[in-house]
Amino acid sequence: MFQLFSRHVFGFLFAACIHAIACLETTWAQPLVERDPINYSSAPTDDPVTRLQQQIDDGQIRLDYDPKLGYLPSVLKALGIPTESQMLVFSKTSLKPYRKTQS
């Protein structure tokens, strides 16, 4: 009976320690990106993707959906990125081999 109880207590304490370590790590890491010069969550963003999102939100731009390629061609065009610059790399060790073929 004591061994069963001590195993449960040990398991609980082990889980509690792991949880505490994970919480402390998050607590320590968060302030580093929230302080100057990074200010990750409060810094204003000004990049092509943010500007495109703002134009979409304002109704200035509408992205077209392609049944085969989705929104990708429309997003690339809106960002001024040539489609020729994009490529897909086939890998036999890919995590999603069913989505890619060598044909």
- pLDDT single digits (tens) 48-97: 999 999 999 999 999 999 999 999 999 999 999 998 998 877 777 766 65
Are 42 and 36 a contacting pair, CB within 8 Å? no
What percentage of the chain has pLDDT greater than the value 70? 66
**DSSP class per residue in 14-75:** HHHHHHHHHHHHHHHHHHHHHSTTT-TTTS---SHHHHHHHHHHHTS--PPPBTTTBTHHHH
The overall average pLDDT reported for the chain is 78
pTM, 2 dp: 0.52
Of 21-25, 32-36, 93-97, the one with minimum mean pLDDT is 21-25
Boundaries of every domain in the chain = 1-43, 48-89
